[in-house]
A and B are shown apart, each in its own frame.
Chain A
Amino acid sequence: GDSVTQMEGPVTLSEEAFLTINCTYTATGYPSLFWYVQYPGEGLQLLLKATKADDKGSNKGFEATYRKETTSFHLEKGSVQVSDSAVYFCALTGGGADGLTFGKGTHLIIQP
């Protein structure tokens, strides 16, 4: 079945540092890929998405490119802020009845 593997945290960075959170996937067909963010005590919010190969999703300074050749969707941000501290989930869907398949989540901690 489908699966998502992402780097496990916590990842601790200083403010204004460069961020990369790795995500790779296995899926049949051509899934859509997502990054969700979860702030403490809240549900998940869509951060960005890409629906086909070579698409780049971007939002709030975060970017991720759908790389079919490496089955990856790494999340990057050039300069992180304290407010970016949260848990980030990589996910995919093939459009089937099972909804989203999630990675385990990466806890990001940004220190001032």
Chain B
Amino acid sequence: GAVVSQHPSRVICKSGTSVKIECRSLDFQATTMFWYRQFPKQSLMLMATSNEGSKATYEQGVEKDKFLINHASLTLSTLTVTSAHPEDSSFYICSAPGWARRTEAFFGQGTRLTVV
């Protein structure tokens, strides 16, 4: 089946630095990628939708300048957390839609970000 690979799985960074998270579709082309944030023991919150060749669409309340999303190619989308602060610590998950409308999505393994 389709595979989405997300790296790194864990990252610890200092406050004020930036962290890049990569999400790759390994055996298919993903023109769209969803980025989620998950707080402990809570559901997934959609942050933004990246689209290859155009600007990302951000959900209300998500800071575009803090969470930079780039969909560089049909197989790669990146999320950069800029000037990270401890409150940005969270579990971030990317997801690519299925082959057709109304089908399941494919998820990356997730990235545990800890800002110290």
Contact = CB atoms under 8 A, between A and B. Distances in A.
Interface of A: 31-32, 34, 36, 41-46, 49, 51, 89, 93-100, 102-105, 107
A94 B102 CA distance: 6
Given A41-B112, A43-B6, A99 B41 contact: no
Given A43-B107, A96-B101, A107-B41, 7 more contacts: A31-B102, A32-B102, A32-B103, A43-B93, A93-B101, A98-B49, A105-B42
A55 B60 CA distance: 35
A98 B58 CA distance: 11
B43 A42 contact: no
A97 B43 contact: no
Contact of A34 (B44, B101, B104): B104
Given A43-B93, A104-B43, A97 B49 contact: yes
A102 B105 CA distance: 12
A49 B102 CA distance: 10
Determine which residue in A42, A44, A49 has the highest number of CB atoms from chain B within 10 A of its CB, and name it.
A44
29 contacts: A31-B102, A36-B107, A42-B110, A43-B108, A43-B110, A44-B44, A49-B104, A51-B102, A89-B44, A93-B102, A93-B103, A93-B105, A94-B102, A95-B101, A96-B101, A97-B32, A99-B32, A99-B34, A99-B46, A99-B49, A99-B105, A100-B95, A100-B105, A103-B43, A104-B43, A105-B41, A105-B42, A105-B43, A107-B41
